[in-house]
Amino acid sequence: MIALLIAVPLVFAFASIPHERLGRYFLPFVAMFNLVCLFFFMHPEQILEVGKWPAAYGIALVLDNVSYPFLIFVNFLILMMSLSATLENRYGTLLLVLTAAVNGIMLTGDFFNSFVFLEIISVIAYIVAAHKDNALGAFKYLIFGGIGGTMYLLGAVSVYVKSGTLNMAYASFITDPMVVPTICIFFLITFLVELKVLPLGLWAPDVYSNGSSVTPIALGSIVTVSLVYLFSRIFLNIFDLPNPQLVGILAMVSIIFSELGALKQKGLGRALSFATISGVSTVVAALSMRESEITSAAYFYLFNDVVSKFILFTLFAYLGERGFKSNKTAGIAFTFASLSVVGFPMFAGFWAKYYLLKALFQVNSYALPAIILIAAVIEAGYLIKWNVELWYKEEDREKDREDVEAEKAEGVEEVEEVEDFVPFGAQVVTLLLALTLVVVGFMPGLIHDQTMSIANHVLDFRPYLDLILKGGM
Amino acid sequence: MQSLLLYLAIGALVGYFLSMINKRLGPIVLLALSLYGLFTLWNMPIGSVEDLFGFEDILQFTALSKYFSIITLIVFSCYAFFNIVWISKAKRPYAFSALSILTLFGTLGVFLTPHLIALYIFWEVAVVASLFIVPMGKEESKKATIWYIVISSIGSYMFLYGTFLLYSKFGTFNLFEISGDIASEGTGFKWLVSLLLLGAGVAKSGIFPLHVWLRNVHGNAPDTFSAVLSGQLVKMGSYIIALFLGAFPIATMFSQFYAGVNIFSYVLIWLGNISILIGTFMAIKQNDMKMLMAYSTVANGGYILIGLALLDQVGFAGGLFHVINHALAATMIFLSFAAVVYRTGTTKIDEMGGLIFKMPVTFVTYLVGIISIAGIPPTSGFVSKWMIFQSLISKGMFVTAMFTFVGSIGSFLYVFRPLAGVFLGQLKRKDKDVKEAPMIMLLPMIILVALTILWGVFPQQVLVWVTDVQRQFGMEPFKFDGTVLYSNLGHWDSWTVFVMFMVGFIIAAVIYILMPKGKKIPLDDQYTSGEFLHNFDLYHYATKYYAFLEREYEGHPSFEDWYTSIVNVLKAIGKGVDYLVRRTASAYTFWMALVLALLLWVRW
Amino acid sequence: MTVLKVAGIFLTAFFFGLTFEGIGRKITARVQRRYGPRWYQNFIDLFKTLSKHGYTHGWIFDFGVIMALGGIIASLGFVPVGGIVAFPGMDNFFVIVYLFTIGSLGMAMGMVGTGNPWASIGVARALTLMLGYEVPYMISIGSMLYFYRTSSISAIMSAQGGDWNLFKFPIGALVALISLQGMLGKEPFEAPIAPAEIASGPMVELSAKYMGLLMLMNTFMEFAEISLFVDLFLGGGTYFVFLLKYLVVWVLVVLISSVLPRFRIEQAVYFYWTVPIILAFVQVFMTVNGFVF
């Protein structure tokens, strides 16, 4: 049953190949189908042994309490993106494959299988990254991603060499503890690349800032969430994170430097890209603590960051040179999202920061909170600057209009004014997501209960092992 | 309290939609809510505890809450009243009204809760709401917004960090529960927590070194909103300072330093000293009247901080009293400026002149405002200044006294500049047809004038509030008997002073009336050193009013520039990061290899 | 009784103030090898100006003049004149100092209200000078308030007995005397008036009774300021002893002023903020550490 989450998108992807145009119409329905399946027909603690091979020998797809909420969130994001993004013909097919791959990577319980899905994601990501003629950015990503993928493969191979199995649960059970750190280093490099932790995330700003309504969302939101899942699965659940302190420090450095990078930017797109790096780095830094409250807060933070950045990037893609005066809905969504990113009260972002800081202080970790708050000051500075600039752009434009009228009087062609520049779908989606942020801002329990449950499950290896190996080998 | 906050929250929405029907309805909603709030909170007994939105006992009505809420609501009522007419000049009236109500919601929330996280939430609501009003002002106001949010964020995140530090130690967010246990903690912890928590107060009340935002923000914000910023939002900072200095046993937490003042208070007092110095001398050289008053706010913030940090019977009361004085005076002054700008459209002092003959009521408002700011009896400004001076002298803190004297005398200089430049002197020809501001604008100004003089002559009402606060914090309350105010350096009677003032005035008036009447001549009938003048617009001394003094400190360091250069350094680092991003892939692989090696090397 | 005392103070200030001013003019003249006017010349001037029709520049001008005189009269009422203390205990130093400023503000406002830039320049200079002399003055008096634990002038006056504060606080007295020179607007601190330079500054547009009222105000102000000095440093004394001391201080001030040129305004401020302030702090240091003779 759970294989449908992978199979259905794939089938539709192939079905759309003859008629490229169909892909983008399939996408929302497929995402919807996945969500419906997840909500009504699939419930956690399921395992599917592909080809009836017992878990440790064959590939097992696992739907447990960790992957279930992640799957819902990712498919929800895909649905939203399918409604908000402007997809050229072939992107429908690509994104269908991407759907299959991210679902796959979150379901699989097998190292090599996850590598395969990772590579599929990467290949699609390179193509998506090249959207809007951003070949150079895509090329950079290709090189980084290539090395990252190789490392993952090396890791998977090492697991197989050392333990004789590719099954995640079993491998962690029988791998020699002496070699685990080495193997984890390989995986870690992959994740640092894919989760854009500086300096390995240097590819991200060029890729995300291409002005597409697809790239930053497909890569920054959807792929990132699925990889955070994989990160937690590997480093919190089945193996230990190697050298967590160093990872934490690296992530903290990444937070600060990416914020500084964002501060410097003159373009909104690059500023948002850097902000994304900072957001995910915060999540990585928090996850590296391996403590349930902090992990839960990290997921909350991820939720807020991904949803807000979704809004910001989508609106950025449609914004061009315009301000918000002619489109207040977009403006409100944008402002809400940026306030939430900074962490102002009444928005989800506040609770993300609140839970994170509270949890960090409980384990007497004082450096990361300070870094997060310093980053928030910088973030507040430039995000508010962009808000104010976009909201109050109109005054300048009115002057321009007068010029235009003057020109018209002189016989110069009138520049056409577009009042509603954001497509209807994108407006609805961004507004909906912005309202989600507000609702969560007032009722943080909605998300916090979920993240708490994920965190508790992800840090407890036993149920996963039991689920896959059914209590014995 | 809960219902009041609820009404305000709903009121923000209602105000938004009602202003769509008619712009003037927005301020009217705010006025109604402020008056309702004033009525409710005035009558509310101190010590009431209420739930908020299902959280138990979050709201607690202390004496300090009462005092600050009343100040806030007075300021907001006058502001709302004034806006009923002024709103027609607002750039975005709907959002302006709604955000104003939201600002009131946030600030009242801050005053009503001792729960640190709830306080922080309300605080940020007030900041965000006011944040989006600021860019509705002049062209430079967009830049000002950034100053505002960054400095404000520095303060509030310091506060948040301190809050969580306390939470990690004591497991509660309730300030009054914490304050009992904090004295036994380590010295470093106490210093850190106190400085962090007061960081928000320092940033918000415009104390050095976080004073730089005031000039930009107060100077460029929408004209009436500057009144709220200076008269009320800045007082949120003073509230935080008063709350922590009062609730925490500061005197036992830190060692004594000089004259019974502990070392922590002493640090604060020095921050206050520097603020007074900077505020006064920067105000003296401003040509923009709103920026001038913004620096005056810095100086007065310093006074308040010094008074509060003295933490004694007279000084603390003086600091608290100064809060209400400055709130009223700043509101009066900024509202009168708003009226001037409403009619003339400029804030530059040397672009105006002689408006007194066109706008007499506005002038009187400004006059009483500055008399109060300068601390001259019979306005309430003198009462608090007297208290602070008495406390400083009785403790023998003469260096601080010197700064307060400089600030006090210096305030005569800077308040006189707009008086002479805007209201007195030659009337500009372009302003010939200027009329007095509309009646609705004048009314709140007149009310504020009346209050300032009333509390200057009969300060008992305010002193009751102030001494209630002192009693609640376990201090010896300030001693007063009717209008006679006592300190340990003697007493005075505000009523006697007022009577003497009237006597002097009547004597002078009688002499004046008895003597032959003067003949009225126009302003351009002047001694002109023998020159024949064609343009009396130029015969008005307003540009570089204190040139001879200003040039003595021309090359002073500018903190605004320093902070800008810090930001530039940060941006340069950011540029470095960006440079790496833009490099070709070969450089990346090098980096990757380096990190890989690093990780491996550290591990084995 | 209080009313009588206040009236007594006013009348003393009126008669002796004007008389001493006349004597001062005579002394200045003699120092400058002139004959000088008669001692009662100031009475003549006052009554002559008051009785003439003048010119006004609008209501703020009138109001400013009344406020100036009224403010000074009000503060004068609080100043103890020898044995005459109208408000014992309530003659608080800060109250008096700040009541003075009402008069100054009234004058400044009225004069700038004439619309003459010379008046504005004069007022700007006067305020700047005030920034100079008030600070060392208040610090040095502050040290006395600290020593006697009271800020009541009459209490300090009576606490001295025969032992004058001039000897107990010699440095403070010196500072106060230098500041007094500035307060009175006498040379070398005469820049705000500077007749030859800025056409008498604030007084440029004054005529007839307005001039007279401000002359009266000036007399009262001088009387109050010198009385404060006499009360605080020379032990006050009975009525006539007080007037004698007053005369001595006044003559000293006049003598100093008659031989000195004028400081530029920034020089004056610079001077006040260096020498007298340092001296005031020396006095403060001594007082706080108990070195009081």
Residue type, A241: L
Q: Residue B604 pLDDT more than 50? A: no
Please indicate, yes or no, if residue C39 is contained in any of the structural domains: yes
> Which chains lie within 8 Å of chain B at 3 or more CB pairs, if any?
A, C
Of the partner residues B389, B506, B519, the one whose CB lies closest to the CB of residue C53: B519
Q: Establish how many alpha carbons lie within 13 A of residue B411's alpha carbon, considering only the half-sphere containing its beta carbon.
A: 31
Q: Which sign, positive or negative, has the C-alpha torsion A111, A117, A121, A123? A: positive
Residue C288 contacts B where some CB pair is shorter than 8 Å: yes
Which residues are CB-neighbours of A37 under 8 A, at least 6 positions away? Answer: A1, A4, A5
How far is residue A13's CA from residue A7's CA, in Å, rounded to a whole number?
A: 10
Q: Residue B343 pLDDT more than 80? A: yes
Residue type, B11: G
Of B64, B33, B58, nearest to B46 by C-alpha is B64
Torsion of CA C114, C119, C120, C126, to 10 degrees: -130
Mean pLDDT value across residues A157-175: 81
**pLDDT band, very low/low/confident/very high, at C60 (cuts 50, 70, 90):** confident
Asked if B459 and B485 count as a contact pair (C-beta separation under 8 A), the reply is yes
Can you read off the two tokens belonging to residue C281? 């702090």
How far is residue A275's CA from residue A258's CA, in Å, rounded to a whole number?
A: 7
Q: Which of B160-164, C60-64, C70-74, C205-209 has the lowest mean pLDDT?
A: C205-209
pLDDT, residue B594, reads: 67
Residue type, B173: F
How far is residue A353's CA from residue A374's CA, in Å, rounded to a whole number?
A: 12
CB proximity under 8 Å: B 490-529 to C: 490-493, 496-497, 500-509, 511-512, 515-521, 523-527, 529
> Which chains lie within 8 Å of chain C at 3 or more CB pairs, if any?
B
Residue with tokens 């002493």: B266
**pLDDT band, very low/low/confident/very high, at A398 (cuts 50, 70, 90):** low
CA distance C62 to chain B (A): 9
Of the partner residues A250, A346, A381, the one whose CB lies closest to the CB of residue B150: A381
Of the partner residues C66, C142, C207, the one whose CB lies closest to the CB of residue B505: C66
pLDDT, residue A240, reads: 79
Residue B598 contacts C where some CB pair is shorter than 8 Å: no
Domain parsing of chain A, residue ranges: 255-405+422-442
Of the partner residues B167, B588, B600, the one whose CB lies closest to the CB of residue A202: B588
pLDDT, residue C32, reads: 86
Per-residue pLDDT reduced to its tens digit, A108-136: 888 888 899 888 988 888 888 887 777 88
Asked if B215 and B285 count as a contact pair (C-beta separation under 8 A), the reply is no
pLDDT, residue A409, reads: 54
Q: Which of B390, B409, B552 best tests the C interface by mutation, with the highest count of C CBs <10 A? A: B409
Whole-angstrom CA distances from A291 to A106, A242, A254, A452, C237 are 22, 15, 21, 11, 82
Residues of A in Cβ contact (< 8 Å) with B600: 185
Per-residue pLDDT reduced to its tens digit, A173-225: 777 777 787 788 888 888 888 888 877 778 888 888 877 778 888 888 888 89
* Edge-to-edge strand ranges of the sheet holding B479-481: B479-481, B484-487, B490-493
This model of the complex carries an ipTM of 0.91
Residue with tokens 């494959």: A97
* pTM of this structure: 0.89
Share of chain A above pLDDT 70, in %: 93
Per-residue pLDDT reduced to its tens digit, A275-292: 999 999 999 999 888 888
pLDDT, residue A416, reads: 46
Residue type, A405: E
Q: B118 versus B591: which is more confidently predicted?
A: B118
Helices (H) and strands (E) in chain B, counts: 24, 8
How far is residue B409's CA from residue B406's CA, in Å, rounded to a whole number?
A: 5
**pLDDT band, very low/low/confident/very high, at C61 (cuts 50, 70, 90):** confident
Q: Residue A411 pLDDT more than 70? A: no
Q: Establish how many alpha carbons lie within 13 A of residue A111's alpha carbon, considering only the half-sphere containing its beta carbon.
A: 31
Q: Residue A95 pLDDT more than 80? A: yes
Per-residue pLDDT reduced to its tens digit, B479-491: 888 888 888 888 8
Please indicate, yes or no, if residue C293 is contained in any of the structural domains: no
Would the CB atoms of B575 and A264 count as touching at under 8 Å? yes
Question: Which residues sit opposite B479 in a β-bridge?
Answer: B486
Per-residue pLDDT reduced to its tens digit, A336-394: 898 899 888 888 888 998 899 888 888 888 888 899 999 999 988 888 888 888 887 76
DSSP state of B56: E
How far is residue A467's CA from residue A46's CA, in Å, rounded to a whole number?
A: 8
Question: Which residues sit opposite A61 in a β-bridge?
Answer: A48, A108
Asked if A195 and A280 count as a contact pair (C-beta separation under 8 A), the reply is yes
pLDDT, residue A157, reads: 87
* Enclosing domain of residue C269: 2-288
Asked if B309 and B391 count as a contact pair (C-beta separation under 8 A), the reply is no
Asked if B91 and B120 count as a contact pair (C-beta separation under 8 A), the reply is no
Of the partner residues B117, B575, B585, the one whose CB lies closest to the CB of residue A143: B585
Of the partner residues C105, C113, C209, the one whose CB lies closest to the CB of residue B516: C209
Would the CB atoms of B567 and A385 count as touching at under 8 Å? no
Q: Which of A147, A260, A294 best tests the B interface by mutation, with the highest count of B CBs <10 A? A: A260
Please indicate, yes or no, if residue C169 is contained in any of the structural domains: yes
Mean pLDDT value across residues C249-278: 88
pLDDT, residue A414, reads: 43
Share of chain A above pLDDT 90, in %: 4
> Which chains lie within 8 Å of chain A at 3 or more CB pairs, if any?
B
DSSP string for residues in A314-349: HHHHHHTT--STT-HHHHHHHHHHHHHHHT-TTSHH
Asked if A303 and A237 count as a contact pair (C-beta separation under 8 A), the reply is no
- The structural domain count of chain C equals 1
Per-residue pLDDT reduced to its tens digit, C31-53: 888 888 888 888 898 888 888 88
Distance of CA A131 to the CA centre of its chain: 18
Angle (nearest 5°) at CA B505 between B503 and B507: 70
Q: B324 versus A210: which is more confidently predicted?
A: B324
Of A345, A265, A348, nearest to A309 by C-alpha is A348
Asked if B452 and B328 count as a contact pair (C-beta separation under 8 A), the reply is yes
Distance of CA C168 to the CA centre of its chain: 23
Per the document, the length of chain A is: 473
pLDDT, residue A412, reads: 46
Q: Residue A293 pLDDT more than 70? A: yes
Per-residue pLDDT reduced to its tens digit, B410-436: 888 888 888 888 888 888 888 788 888
pLDDT, residue A415, reads: 44
DSSP state of B533: P
Would the CB atoms of B507 and C209 count as touching at under 8 Å? no
Distance of CA C145 to the CA centre of its chain: 20
Q: Residue B324 pLDDT more than 70? A: yes
Per-residue pLDDT reduced to its tens digit, B71-120: 999 988 988 888 888 888 877 888 888 888 889 888 888 888 888 888 88
Q: Residue B493 pLDDT more than 70? A: yes
Whether there are 3 or more C-beta pairs closer than 8 Å between A and C is: no
Domain parsing of chain B, residue ranges: 1-136, 137-515+537-556, 563-603
Q: Residue A395 pLDDT more than 60? A: no
CA distance B276 to chain A (A): 27
Per-residue pLDDT reduced to its tens digit, C161-211: 778 888 888 888 889 988 988 888 887 888 888 777 777 778 888 888 888
